[in-house]
Structure 1
């Protein structure tokens, strides 16, 4: 055994204690989210464990332990004098308010799927196979919608689409849009609500997600302006679209170049391909930060196995970076490619023929 530096070892153990605590707390977040405990505290009024048990109908002894764990994580506030717990406005935004730009509970459903599906990914590591999106646990599909939807709510209409050359005016006047890899339809529905004169088509190869998207569109009253169909990125129906969008899904595709070629064939002459991808620098060393840690982890467990399960299996990964994405677009036959805008979590690209 090699000699270890005691100070470096202490620092490493300290980080590991934090990571173990975060992993355990993640399970408590999923539990509190599923049981509606955060929503029951969303008004910010202090509650004892007895109060919250009476309000939710769950057993007080379980509630008491959950609240203590949340207070230890600094995710709820504890007042010793009154033995009560409360959510600050910021904590309520993160855990109780689904449409807030800081809502994070859905992210922990994605993490939950990684733990549940770890044996499948282990098999893929051993035999070189992939793991299709459809082969994951259901909490991944639900968590993905709930995690990404707040970011789309905050950015899509106000900054991302306006950053594309001439696209917003087309959508306001009435255009035809394909949202490819739409999942549960969060992005499609949001665009349909924002641009009532435009016709939208949502495509995804995952049938259960398409069913959920149709239900969501009907629920908010835009079902008459969106057609959701099961189709892959390489065979969705051609309509001469004014805009084709792909939100956080191009890197999951086995053949992103082939998908790009199909997009080019289906676009109108002055059409735009909008590509939204996880934020990443081109060099690995520049992605060694907290955001990169999340995306590389998700890419290992979800994105790369998804790509390797398909034909070609390019395996871009969730941290592909602009240079590799540019190459995909150029290889697909696009001559114009630019970064239109960005957030700390996403890059938005515009591609034109």
Structure 2
């Protein structure tokens, strides 16, 4: 139920924004996807974001990775039902050890803050990217200070994150727990530590921060 509910909560935002505004906000990425790029979607869950990318950019090669095998099985079924199983693939792998290199685009949607080792995952993303590749990091919208988040969206995210995200991030080593609300400054600092030299806020919605990180 948790995996199904998580997808139902986030999928409308991906449908409304991923192809129409988030990808165009990444300098040069849309043209590369249209021409044919290698894309990895990390922590893909049931594959909503992965399938949207595969559908929108048929010349690109898109693969979704998730450590949760039942979610990958569901993603494969959905790809087959949508007639996309020849253009997208799904594999069981963790964020810190997914296979492949030279990716033009690696994306993590609403998942990095949940991970016990987000720094290890970000470092692996950096290693897997091509020299001119792009890391698209989408995270729940949060200000850097507590008082910035005392609003209806912040209250929702604080509640959900306290019982789901923080709990999961403490379930393994090193149990980083980026916080019930991570904030852009902390995320950018982590990306810098992982080896990214350029990090900017590409765009945002009331529910999402969209960061563009480059080697």
Identify whether the pair has TM-score above 0.5, normalized to the shorter chain. Answer: yes
Question: SS where residue 23 of structure 2 aligns?
Answer: helix
- Contact kept? 2:38, 2:60, Cα under 8 Å: yes
User: Which of the residues 88, 93, 116 maps onto 1:231?
Assistant: 93
The match for 1:254 among 70, 94, 116 is 116
Matched position secondary structure for 2:53: helix
Match of 2:5 in 1: 143
Whether the aligned pair in 2 keeps the contact of 1:160 and 1:341 (CA below 8 Å) is yes
- How many residue pairs get aligned? The number is 215
Q: 2:129 aligns with which of 267, 289, 310?
A: 267
What is the root-mean-square deviation of aligned Cα atoms in Å? 0.7
Q: State whether residues 101 and 127 of structure 2, in contact with CA within 8 Å, keep that contact through their aligned partners in structure 1.
A: no
Inter-CA distance 170–318: structure 2 relative to 1 (3 Å threshold): farther
Which residue, 3, 12, 25 being the options, matches 1:163? 25
Whole-angstrom distance in 1 between the partners of 2:180 and 2:36: 33
Provide the residue aligned with 1:350 in structure 2: 212
Distance in structure 1 (CA, Å) of the matches to 2:37 and 2:122: 20
Residue 311 (structure 1) aligns with = 173
Write the distance in 1 (CA, Å) between the matches of 2:68 and 2:191.
Answer: 24
- Answer 1 or 2: which has greater strand percent: 2
Q: 1:239 offset after TM fit, Å?
A: 2.7
Give the structure-2-normalised TM-score: 0.98
Task: Give the structure with the higher percent helix.
Answer: 1
In structure 2, runs of 5+ residues without a counterpart are none
> Could you list the per-position Cα deviations for residues 108-127 of structure 1 after superposition, in whole angstroms to 9, with x for gaps in the alignment?
xxxxxxxxxxxxxxxxxxxx
Extract structure 1 runs of 4+ deviating beyond 4 A: none
1:280 and 1:322 in contact (8 A); partners too: yes
Q: Which has the larger radius of gyration?
A: 1
> Using CA pairs below 8 Å that are at least 6 residues apart, which structure has the higher relative contact order?
2
